[in-house]
Amino acid sequence: MGLSWMAWTWQTATFFSVIALFLVGMTVWEWRRPGGNPRRGILGLDTTRGDRLFISLLGSAYIHLAWLALATGPLWIATIIAVIYALAVFRWV
């Protein structure tokens, strides 16, 4: 049957592979250095590492959608902005 009905491209496979790697990496990080205590960030929210990963992934999706809607430049610029955003989320949120 294969996955041809899903119309997967190498970009789509890479996207989901990277998300899977993030989840595995977070699992290993939590196993090696447990950080069960939530941290209060600049937004006043108590967040754990998993919460910050979710916030950074969701924000990155919005950054890319906004880039597609409003900008005419290459998409890799939005990816750089999203990486900077994710680093900021993990540092200060």
Domain limits of the chain? Answer: 1-34, 36-93
Please state the pTM of the whole predicted model: 0.79
User: Are 57 and 31 spatial neighbours (Cβ–Cβ below 8 Å)?
Assistant: no
pLDDT of residue 13: 81
pLDDT for 9 beyond 90 = no
Q: State which H helix or E strand residue 79 sits in.
A: helix 75-92
39 φ, ψ to 5°?
A: -115, 135
pLDDT band at 2 (very low <50, low <70, confident <90, very high): low
